[in-house]
Structure 1
Amino acid sequence: MHDAQIFDPRSTDCKSPYGAVPSGTAVTFTLRPDRSWGFSRVTMLARFESSENRTVERNLHWDGLDGRRDRYNCTLEVGDYVGLVWYSFCMESLDGRRADLGEYQLTVYDDSETVPGWFGEGVTYQIFPDRFRRRTVPSPQGMIGGRSVHTGWREEPAYRPDENGEIRNRDFFGGSLAGVREKLPYLRSLGVDTIYFCPIFEAPENHRYGTGDYEKIDPMLGDEKEFRAMCAEAHDLGMRIMLDGVFNHTGFVSRYFNGDGSYQTQVPGAAQSPDSPYRKWYNFIRWPDQYDSWWGIYSLPAVNESEPSYMDYIIKGENSIIRRWLRAGADGWRLDVADELPDAFVHALHQAVRETKPDAMVIGEVWEDGSSKIAYGVRRKHILGGHCDGLMNYPFRNAAISYLLGGDAKDFMEAMERLRANYPPFAYHSTMNALGTHDTPRILTLLGVGSPCAEQSRDWRASYRMDREQMARGIARLKLGTLILYTFPGSPTVYYGDEAGMEGFEDPFNRRTYPWGEENEALIAWYRMLGQFRHRFTALRRGEITYHTAKGRLLVFRRTFGEEQVVTAVNAGERERRVCLPWAARDLITGETFPRFANGECHVNMPPLTGRLLVPAEE
C-alpha cells in the first residue's frame, strides 16, 4: 500500500485548495483507497495546535469510484483560526483491519494584509560594508573598539587569536558608504533591485553585529547625511535599501551596556550602574560581570526584548530606531536571529514598519522551514501574517548545493515542494534565496573543492587557493547554481564578490575584500545576463513553478505567467541527457534553436554540466 496513491497532500486532487490556506477557508480532502482493500469507513482527525491542540473529527463520505478506487471526501472549516493544523486519516474495514495515514501539516495564515511584491520579484545584493569598497584609508583614531586598519586593500583578514586567546575582529579595511555610492551604477548593471547591508551602525567589531549605537552610522562608513544621499541615489537608479536589524543583543562595547567604559556619556550603561535606564534591558545573573549573552559570547550581551523601554526605543516610539532609519531612506529590515526574537516583538516591529512606510518589508533570518520552526520550546509565527514577510531560504541553499555536488534532482524538488506547500504564497514568493552569505563558505570554493575542509587546520584554509581544475569545476557548477537561483521563485541574492569569482572558506576567509581590478569578468557577464533575464520575463519574477523532470542529475522546471513560459533545464551530471518539450524551443543563453519533429516533440540536448533557459521558438 503506497500512501501517495491514496492521499497526496500536495495534489489538488486530494486536498483543495493547494498548500497553505488563509483563515476562513473551507478545505476539501479526498482519499482514494483501492476498492480491493475493503475499507468501508474513513475518518479524519485534525489537531488545531494553536488552540490548545483542540481536535476535530470528521467522517469522510463515500463519493463513488475512480476506476478501481473508492473515493471518500470531507470538508474542514478552519474558521478564524491562524496557526498549524496537524491532520491524519484512519481507514477501517468491516473485519477490523485499519490503516493510518499522516500526520500532515496544514498552514493557516492571516491574509488580511497585502504584502508588497518588490522584494521577491527583484534581485538582491548582500554587502559586508567593511569589505566592499573604500575611497581612502581611514584613521581609526577616536573610534570605539581599539581598531586597526589594513593599509593594503588586498591583505588577508586577521584570523588568529590574540595574546588572550580571543579573535576580536577589530581589524578593519575601511569600506564605506561613499564607496558603495561610487559603485551603485555597477550594481544596477548587474540587475540589482535591492541592496541588503550587513550592519552599518557604530560597533567595535568589523562585522558590526555587536551594536554600539543604533542612532549612529559607524564613522568609518560615514554618517547619516552620507546614508541619506546613498539611499536617494539608489532610489533614483531603481534600487532599494534593506538594513540588518540586530535586536537580540547589543555590544559589550556600547552606549547601552558600556562594559569597558568606552562611551563617555552622562547616562551610565547597564554594566556601570544598577540605576542605569538600560539596566532592565539586560538579564544580570550577578551584576555587573555575569549576564545572559548570545550563545555565551560575552561581547554580545543579550537583551530583554519584551522590556517596554527597549520596545519603545527600538520599535514603538515616534522616533524609534525602526522608524527613524526608514524615514532616512531604508526600505526594509532583515532581522538577525529572528528565531530568538519573541513573536510579540516581531509583530510590533512589523506594525511599525508598515505604519512608517507601507511598502517596506521585513525579512527574517531562519535556517530551517520557517512554517513549523520551534525555537526555545515555542512554535514560531514567522510567516503566519503580521510578522515576517519572508525568510532567508537556507533550505534552498542546502538543497541546491547537495544537488550540484552529486545529489539527486528529485531531492531538490522534494525539499522545495515541501516549502511551497507549507509556506503562505506571500512568504514563498518573498524568500531571500542565496547560495552563499557572510555566514557560509564562498560558494565558488565549496563547489570547486567539494567540501568546507573543516578537517584541515585554520592556517591551511587561510592560505588555500583552488588549482585550475578546481576553479573550472567550481565555475561550471556555479553557473548551473545561479541559473537555478535566478529563475526560482523568491529573490535571487548574491553575496558581494561571488559574481567576481571570490573564493575562501569560513569567516573571515569568506569576508575578504572585493577584488576591484582583478575580477573574473566572464563570470560577472554571466551574472549580468541572468539579471537581465530576470527583468525581462514576468514569469521569472511572478510566475508559478511546475517541474518537468527531477531525476538523477537532470533538473527541469517551468515558470509560467499567463501565456508566458520559461523553462530552466540543468544537467549537473557527467553524461549527456535530453529534454523533450511539446514546442519548438530557443535557448536564451546560447541562441540555439531546437525544432519540433513530425511527432510534435522537440528534443533539446543537454551536454554535461550544462544549463539552458528555454522559451518557445517561432516555427
Structure 2
Amino acid sequence: MLDPKTFDSRDLRYKEPYGAVPSGTKVSLALRPPRTSGFSGGVLIAYFESTRERREEIPLTWDGIDGDRDVLRVTLDTGHHVGLVWYSFRLDGLDGRKEELGPYQLTVYDGTDQVPTWLGEGVTYQIFPDRFRRTRVPDPTGMVGGRTVHTSWREEPEYRPDANGEVRNRDFFGGDLKGVMEKLPYLHDLGVETIYFCPIFEGPENHRYGTGDYEKIDPMLGTEENFRELCRKAHRLGIRIMLDGVFNHQGYVSRYFNGDGSYPEQGASQSQDSPYYKWYHFSHWPDKYDSWWGIYSLPAVNEAEPSYREYIFGGEDSIVRRWLRAGADAWRLDVADELPDDFVHGIHQAVRETNPEAMVIGEVWEDGSTKIAYGVRRKHILGGHCDGLMNYPFRNALLSYLMGGDAAQFKDTMETLRENYPPFAFHSAMNFLGTHDTPRIITLLGYGGDGQEHDKDWRASYFLTPEQYLLGRTKLRLGALVLFAFPGSPTIYYGDESGLEGFEDPFNRRTYRWEMADGLLHSWYAKLGKARKELPSLRRGKLIWGRTEGKVISFLREGEGMPVFTAVNVGKDPESVEIPWPAKDWMTGMELPRGPVALPPMSGWLLIPYQPR
C-alpha cells in the first residue's frame, strides 16, 4: 500500500492550480513516494469524460529528491475539454511491481462566461408567499383550484387527506405581495440583499409548484403591477429578486393542460389540436401521461418540444425574459437536474442576453459536479448553465456537526465541494439550514430528529418543550454563525430567524407569527446580517481553515479589508482555540488576546482585529 503522503490533490505541492480549472489549463502534478519504496517511474492515466471520451497515458518524469522522497512530475493539458477528467497514477517498482493510486476528479469548466458575484456576497431570504404576510383576508371566488382560505392567520395548515384520500394543498392563508412590501424595511434591517420567492405565478395549490399560468401573478398574491412595484421598492433598498422557475412540470389545473376545464382555451387534455398538446407525453390520450414522480396533478413537460422552448426562453417575450424585464434579477430552476442540459443552457443564454447581471441558480441536492440524472452526467456548473446551486451538502454536513458529528467531517465535505466546484459556483452557492422542503431547523436541533418515529398527527401538534427550544436556539445560533461566515450566500428560510417551529411539509410552512417572534434569536441574525454586509472578507475573502476536529470548527476569511476569524464549539467542555491576533467579538463586543484562548461550551465567536487603546 502506498504511503499516504505520496499524493494529495488538495496540496499545491502536489497539484497546481488548486481544484477545478478553466478549459485550456495545464495542470502540474507531482508525486512524492518514499525513496525506500523503490519506484523507478510510472504513468499518469487520464480519462476525459465527455461526449467524445478519451484516455491518455503520460509518463512521469523524475525531478529530484525532496528529503527522503523522490519527486515524480507530469503535466496534464486539459486542451479544449470541458467536463470531468478522472486521473490516476501507476507507479513502477525496481522489482517489477506496479502500484495504482487514484482515481481523482478534476473538474474542467468553460471559463469564458463572466459570472456576476452579487448573489454569493450577500444574504438571501426565502419566502413561501402564501405564509409570509397578508394585508387582507382574500376572497377565493373565481380563482382556479377550488380554494379555501383560513380566516385566522394563526390556524394550522391542513395536512389530512380528503374524502378521496388526497392531500390537495388547496387551503390558503392569503399571504400577498403587498405584505412583502410592508416588510421590506424589516428585511433590509436583517441585512437581506436577495429575496428568493417560491413560485408566485397562478397555480391551484398553495405552494404553486404546479404552475397554472406563467404569464400571470397569482391573483391571491396581487397583480403584475404589484410585482413591478415590489421590485422597484426592493431595488431602492439594495435588494434583488429571485423567482422560482418550475419548467419541468406544470399543473393539471393549468391553461396548458387544463385537466379540469378551468381555463377557457382548449388545453392538451381536451384536444389534440391544442397548441399545447405536444408539450406532454401521452401514452393514452387524454388520461395517461408522464407526470412528475407519478403525481397525476403535476404533468411532466416535453422539454424537447420547440414551441415549449420558444415559450419559456427562446422568444423575445418568453417567460424567462419578460419577468426579468418586469424587475426580477435571477431565476432559481426547480428540479434543475430533471431539465435537459441544453434547456438549462437556453435559459442561461436568455437570462444573460436580457440582463448581463442576472443569474441562474439550480436546485440540486447532491454534489453538482458529479450529478448523474437519467444516465447522463449533468453540466450544471461547467459554465453557461447554472451560476450556482442550492447547497444541500453544506446543510447536511453542518446539521450533522451541530447534532454531534465530528468537525473534521464538515471540513472534508466542504473541501470536496471547494475542490470539485469552479470558484464561481462555490462562491455563488445558496447555503442554508432549512428550506420549504426540510423540517424547521430549530425543531430538528431542539428535538434531536425529524419525529418520523411518531405518526403525522403527533408531528402536526408537537411543539418543543422550553428546554428543547433553548437547546435548539443555542445550536441554531452557532449554526447561523458558520452559515454567515462561510463562502456562498447565507440563506434564511422565512421565520427561521425568529424561531418558527415545525416538522416536515406542511408544518414547516406555517404562517409567520410576527407577534410571537423570538427577539433574542432575531437580534443574533440581524447582527450576522450586518457583519455580512459590512465586512468585505465575509463577502469575498478566501477561506483558510483553523482547527476542525471534534466539537470545534474555526476558520479565517481574509483578502478583502480586515480579516474575520470564526470559531464554534458545540461540545459540553471548553476547547482551546488559537486566535491569530488581538480581537473583538463582533457579536458581543468581548475583547480577546492573541494566542490560545478557551472557547466556552456551546458558544462561538465572530472575531475582527482589535487594538486596545
Range class of TM-score, shorter chain: over 0.9
Structure 1 CA distance for aligned equivalents of residues 608 and 327 of structure 2: 39
- What is the deviation of 1:453? 1.1
SS at match of 1:40: strand
SS at match of 2:606: strand
Structure 1 CA distance for aligned equivalents of residues 494 and 203 of structure 2: 21
Counterpart selection for 1:570 from 558, 561, 568: 568
SS at match of 1:392: strand
1:551/1:323 CA distance change after superposition, 3 Å: same
Contact kept in structure 1, 2:537 and 2:561, CA below 8 Å:
no
Query: What residue is the counterpart of 1:238 in the other structure?
Result: 238
Query: What residue is the counterpart of 1:347 in the other structure?
Result: 345
Contact kept in structure 2, 1:194 and 1:239, CA below 8 Å:
yes
1:291/1:3 CA distance change after superposition, 3 Å: farther
- What is the deviation of 1:592? 1.8
SS at match of 1:146: coil
- What is the deviation of 1:51? 4.8
Counterpart selection for 2:606 from 585, 594, 613: 613
1:429 aligns with 2:440: no
Structure 1's consecutive aligned runs of 4 or more residues displaced over 4 angstroms after TM superposition are none
After superposition, the C-alpha distances for 1:88-126 in whole angstroms (9 at most, x for unaligned) are 001111212121111100000001111000000010000
1:562/1:332 CA distance change after superposition, 3 Å: closer
- What is the deviation of 1:567? 0.7
SS at match of 2:60: strand
After superposition, the C-alpha distances for 1:339-371 in whole angstroms (9 at most, x for unaligned) are 000000000000000000110000000000000
1:135 aligns with 2:135: yes
SS at match of 1:41: strand
Query: What residue is the counterpart of 1:300 in the other structure?
Result: 298
Structure 1 CA distance for aligned equivalents of residues 172 and 68 of structure 2: 71
Query: What residue is the counterpart of 1:277 in the other structure?
Result: 275
Counterpart selection for 1:464 from 462, 465, 480: 462
- What is the deviation of 1:80? 1.1
Counterpart selection for 2:377 from 376, 379, 382: 379
Contact kept in structure 2, 1:201 and 1:212, CA below 8 Å:
yes
Q: Which amino acid counterpart does residue 102 of structure 2 have in structure 1?
A: G
Structure 2 CA distance for aligned equivalents of residues 2 and 491 of structure 1: 40
558-567 or 32-41, which deviates more: 558-567
Query: What residue is the counterpart of 2:188 in the other structure?
Result: 188
1:28 aligns with 2:28: yes
- What is the deviation of 1:586? 2.0
- What is the deviation of 1:543? 0.7
Q: Which amino acid counterpart does residue 438 of structure 1 have in structure 2?
A: H
- What does 1:12-161 align with in structure 2 at a 5 Å threshold? 12-161=12-161
- What is the deviation of 1:3? 5.1
SS at match of 2:179: helix
Aligned sequence identity (%): 66
Q: Which amino acid counterpart does residue 43 of structure 1 have in structure 2?
A: V
Task: Provide the aligned length of Structure 1 versus Structure 2.
Answer: 612
Query: What residue is the counterpart of 2:596 in the other structure?
Result: 603
Query: What residue is the counterpart of 1:514 in the other structure?
Result: 512
SS at match of 2:598: strand
Contact kept in structure 1, 2:202 and 2:214, CA below 8 Å:
yes
Counterpart selection for 2:581 from 583, 586, 598: 583
Query: What residue is the counterpart of 1:310 in the other structure?
Result: 308
Contact kept in structure 2, 1:24 and 1:79, CA below 8 Å:
yes
SS at match of 2:515: coil
After superposition, the C-alpha distances for 1:190-218 in whole angstroms (9 at most, x for unaligned) are 00000000000000000000000000000
Contact kept in structure 1, 2:43 and 2:91, CA below 8 Å:
yes
Query: What residue is the counterpart of 1:163 in the other structure?
Result: 163
1:288 aligns with 2:286: yes
After superposition, the C-alpha distances for 1:221-249 in whole angstroms (9 at most, x for unaligned) are 00101000000000011100000000000
Contact kept in structure 2, 1:534 and 1:540, CA below 8 Å:
yes
- Structure 2: which 5+ residue stretches go unaligned? none
Contact kept in structure 2, 1:594 and 1:603, CA below 8 Å:
no
- What does 1:468-547 align with in structure 2 at a 5 Å threshold? 468-547=466-545
- What is the deviation of 1:570? 0.3
- What is the deviation of 1:605? 1.8
- What is the deviation of 1:10? 1.0
Q: Which amino acid counterpart does residue 208 of structure 1 have in structure 2?
A: R
SS at match of 2:302: coil
1:562/1:137 CA distance change after superposition, 3 Å: closer
Structure 2 CA distance for aligned equivalents of residues 563 and 395 of structure 1: 29
Structure 2 CA distance for aligned equivalents of residues 189 and 91 of structure 1: 59
Structure 2 CA distance for aligned equivalents of residues 3 and 522 of structure 1: 51
Contact kept in structure 1, 2:552 and 2:575, CA below 8 Å:
yes
Structure 1 CA distance for aligned equivalents of residues 92 and 153 of structure 2: 72
Query: What residue is the counterpart of 2:328 in the other structure?
Result: 330
Contact kept in structure 2, 1:86 and 1:106, CA below 8 Å:
yes
Contact kept in structure 2, 1:371 and 1:423, CA below 8 Å:
yes
Query: What residue is the counterpart of 1:599 in the other structure?
Result: none
Counterpart selection for 1:357 from 355, 358, 369: 355
Contact kept in structure 2, 1:486 and 1:530, CA below 8 Å:
yes
Contact kept in structure 2, 1:559 and 1:566, CA below 8 Å:
yes
Q: Which amino acid counterpart does residue 615 of structure 1 have in structure 2?
A: I
Structure 2 CA distance for aligned equivalents of residues 558 and 526 of structure 1: 20
Contact kept in structure 2, 1:203 and 1:213, CA below 8 Å:
yes
Structure 2 CA distance for aligned equivalents of residues 474 and 235 of structure 1: 34
Query: What residue is the counterpart of 1:551 in the other structure?
Result: 549
- What is the deviation of 1:53? 2.7
1:145/1:582 CA distance change after superposition, 3 Å: closer
After superposition, the C-alpha distances for 1:132-157 in whole angstroms (9 at most, x for unaligned) are 00001000000000000000001000
276-285 or 92-101, which deviates more: 92-101
State the superposition RMSD in angstroms: 0.9
Contact kept in structure 2, 1:555 and 1:571, CA below 8 Å:
yes
Query: What residue is the counterpart of 2:367 in the other structure?
Result: 369
- What is the deviation of 1:615? 1.9
Query: What residue is the counterpart of 2:179 in the other structure?
Result: 179
Contact kept in structure 2, 1:539 and 1:561, CA below 8 Å:
yes
Contact kept in structure 2, 1:431 and 1:491, CA below 8 Å:
yes
Structure 1 CA distance for aligned equivalents of residues 219 and 340 of structure 2: 31
Q: TM-score, normalised by structure 1?
A: 0.98
SS at match of 2:502: coil
Structure 1 CA distance for aligned equivalents of residues 12 and 219 of structure 2: 55
Structure 2 CA distance for aligned equivalents of residues 77 and 311 of structure 1: 37
Structure 2 CA distance for aligned equivalents of residues 214 and 3 of structure 1: 58
SS at match of 1:57: strand
SS at match of 1:230: helix
Structure 2 CA distance for aligned equivalents of residues 23 and 516 of structure 1: 50
Structure 1 CA distance for aligned equivalents of residues 27 and 443 of structure 2: 46
Q: Which amino acid counterpart does residue 188 of structure 1 have in structure 2?
A: H
Contact kept in structure 2, 1:47 and 1:87, CA below 8 Å:
yes
1:200/1:436 CA distance change after superposition, 3 Å: same
Query: What residue is the counterpart of 2:446 in the other structure?
Result: 448
Contact kept in structure 1, 2:40 and 2:94, CA below 8 Å:
yes
Structure 2 CA distance for aligned equivalents of residues 232 and 221 of structure 1: 17
- What is the deviation of 1:562? 4.5
1:527/1:562 CA distance change after superposition, 3 Å: closer
Contact kept in structure 2, 1:62 and 1:73, CA below 8 Å:
yes
Query: What residue is the counterpart of 2:197 in the other structure?
Result: 197
SS at match of 2:50: helix
Contact kept in structure 2, 1:556 and 1:570, CA below 8 Å:
yes
1:563/1:321 CA distance change after superposition, 3 Å: closer
SS at match of 2:343: helix
Structure 2 CA distance for aligned equivalents of residues 158 and 346 of structure 1: 35
Contact kept in structure 1, 2:570 and 2:602, CA below 8 Å:
yes
Q: Which amino acid counterpart does residue 420 of structure 1 have in structure 2?
A: R
SS at match of 1:243: strand
- Structure 1: which 5+ residue stretches go unaligned? 597-601
Structure 2 CA distance for aligned equivalents of residues 563 and 394 of structure 1: 30
Contact kept in structure 2, 1:3 and 1:101, CA below 8 Å:
no
